[in-house]
Amino acid sequence: MEPLVDTVVIGAGIAGLSAAWELQRRGLTVSVLERTPRAGGVILSERFDGWVIDGGPDSLLVQKPAGVALCHELGLGDRLHPTLTPRTAYVLRGGRLHPIVEGSFLGFPLSARALATSSLFTWPGKLRMGLEVLVPRRTDNEDEALGAFVARRFGREAAEYLADPLLAGIHAGDADRLSARALFPRLVAAESRHGSVLRAFRTVRGPASPDGAFVSLPGGIGELTDRLEAALMPGTLRLSTPVTRLHHDGAFVVSTDAESIRAKAVIAAVPAYAAAALLGELSPDASRLCAEVPYASTATVALGYRRSQVSHPLSGTGFVVPRRERCPILAGTWVSSKWPGRAPDGCVLLRAFVGGGRDPEGFARPDEELVSVAHDALARVLHISGPPLFSRLYRWERRSPQFEVGHLDRMAAIERHLAAVPGLFVAGSGFRSIGIPDCVADAREAAARAAAHTAASVPARS
């Protein structure tokens, strides 16, 4: 007899684990099926010999509270800590690092003083940015590429040195393809409501938080997924268990190589292309649309050095690299200047990022070459002498969804098709959310909808 559970969650990244936790809190039975040998998805933390390395994301955005709230629920609240000061981030231009000045929002200087004192922009570029308040607002509701939005409102220089490396760089994407409406709706809403982005954020800006915008955990963000995994009931999570078929026969039937599980509801918390493979029998149209979501591949290179090897003061959090600089990395993070306890005394931990939507060839390099490219790029900018004490390479193939122009329309169509299959839901970063807090919130909302469907459904045939 096939076992029956209230909900099967497919995928054990942060979205899948969060959905399972929410279902468990509601008293429902749940099985989580993960095709790989470990849970956590792109969240991966290594700890050895006094080093703490995040191979993927390393922080939670405080402004979006779902991630922090989950930490508190799991008893991790008192372990959260803010970034070290100063929290200055830099942009590479002309081979030099230029600080993003205080009084900026998403890199855009809000005050005349902040704009005037910035060394990142030329005076013509500063003048064009300051004239943003005079640029007429757009009157149609068509989606627009992020780079086009910033160039239209702030000028080409802002697009090249902010939109490209900073805003698109957060998502490992190409500013000329990513959707402004999907990824930065506050910018679009500011223009629509106030006629000017600068005017809008000068009006609503409050005092900066003394604790900064991000928090992390002493053992890396992997502490969160470790705690989630431990909080699930024994037997809930099954690793190395790929789903081979998903269909419906009075109930959802989720098949693996070893067995089939019947469920009243299913949450596919997997990349959109993986969801496409699962949904083919139940919703061919939703499957086709999921397959259209593009993904980029990235690599994170972690490098440890003695402090005496690095001439740069490393005062701040790191830097981003515009495409025009023709540098082989997308960004560099000064991890041990950003978070306490990440490197032994007398040492520093750095990370470099390679690949992404604007440099797919970069990801394709062999492992040794990727590490060498990252070290050489950091050495040029930070004046590093000698080889690293160690290196770690983390490859994330097709793990960065690209919310390109039209993504919100595609997502609305997916939702319409899934509505015709009651009890079937998708969650995670390829659909409505990017970043840990959004994925947590989206997954818990999907779990709430699955719970509501389960409560309303008749007992499934066993």
CATH of the domain at 283: 3.50.50.60
pLDDT at 207: 64
Average pLDDT taken over every residue of the chain? 95
Whether 319 and 182 share a structural domain: no
Please report whether residue 361 resides in a domain: yes
Asked if residue 303 and residue 250 are part of one domain, the reply reads no
In this structure, the number of other CB atoms found within 10 A of the CB of residue 455 comes to 11
Q: Would residue 444 count as lying in a domain?
A: yes
Q: Which of 141, 172, 204 is the last residue of a domain?
A: 204
Please report the pLDDT score of residue 243 as a whole number.
98
> Does one domain contain both 289 and 304?
no
CATH (domain of 168): 1.10.3110.10
CA distance 378 to 303: 10
Q: What is the pLDDT of residues 90-132, one digit of tens each?
A: 999 999 999 999 889 999 999 999 999 999 999 999 999 999 9
Do the domain assignments include residue 94?
Answer: no
Question: What's the confidence (pLDDT) of residue 208?
Answer: 66
349 belongs to a structural domain? yes
8 pLDDT exceeds 80?
yes
- Contact indicator for 450, 23 with CB cutoff of 8 Å: yes
Task: Kindly state whether residues 199 and 254 are assigned to the same domain.
Answer: no
| CATH label of the domain that carries residue 343 | 3.90.660.20
pLDDT category of residue 203 using cuts at 50, 70 and 90: confident
Domain assignment present for residue 325? The answer is: yes
Q: How far apart are the first and last CA of the chain?
A: 7
Q: What is the pLDDT of residue 19?
A: 98
Whether residues 111 and 187 fall in one domain: yes
| 68 lies in some domain | no
Average pLDDT score over residue span 316-322? 98
Q: Which sign, positive or negative, has the C-alpha torsion 278, 280, 282, 285?
A: positive
Confidence category of residue 461, pLDDT binned at 50, 70, 90: very low
Whether pLDDT at 460 is above 80: no
**pLDDT one-digit tens code per residue, 417-427:** 999 999 999 99
Average pLDDT over residues 28-48: 98
Nearest to 443 by CA among 59, 15, 151, 20: 15
Same domain, 255 and 318: no
Domain termination residue (choose one: 174, 204, 234): 204
**Shortest CA distance to 371 belongs to which of 357, 356, 385, 350?**
350
The model's pLDDT over 63-78, given as tens digits with 9 standing for 90+, comes to 999 999 999 999 999 9
pLDDT for residue 345 is more than 90: yes
- Chain segment 366-409, per-residue pLDDT in tens: 999 999 999 999 999 999 999 999 999 999 999 999 999 999 99
Choose one of 401, 421, 440: the last residue of a domain: 401
Taking 50 as the threshold, does the pLDDT of residue 462 lie above it? no
Q: State how many domains the chain has.
A: 3
Judgement on whether residues 299 and 323 belong to the same structural domain of the protein: yes
Does residue 262 sit in the same domain as residue 395?
no
286 and 409 within one domain: yes
* Statement to judge: residues 232 and 262 lie in one domain: yes
pLDDT tens column, 233-276: 999 999 999 999 999 999 999 999 999 999 999 999 999 999 99
381 domain-assigned: yes
C-alpha 269/C-alpha 346 separation (Å) is 42
The residue range of the domain holding 141 is 104-204
Residue % of the chain over a pLDDT of 90: 93
Is 424 within a domain? yes
Kindly tell me if the per-residue pLDDT of 3 is higher than 90. Answer: no
* Closest by Cα among 44, 330, 49, 372 to 168: 330
% of residues, the chain, pLDDT over 70: 98
Q: Please write down the HEC assignment for all residues of 239-283.
A: CCCCEEEEEECCCEEEEECCCEEEEEEEEECCCHHHHHHHHCCCC
Q: Are residues 273 and 418 in the same domain?
A: yes
The CA distances from residue 90 to 23, 261, 321, 340, 362, in Å, are 42, 51, 9, 20, 22
- On whether both 245 and 373 belong to a single domain, the answer is no
pLDDT digits (tens, 9 = 90+) for 125-164: 999 999 999 999 998 989 999 999 999 999 999 999 999 9
Give 209's pLDDT tier (boundaries 50, 70, 90). confident
- For 135, other C-beta atoms within 10 Å of its C-beta total 17
For 390, list phi and psi in degrees, rounded to 5: -160, 165
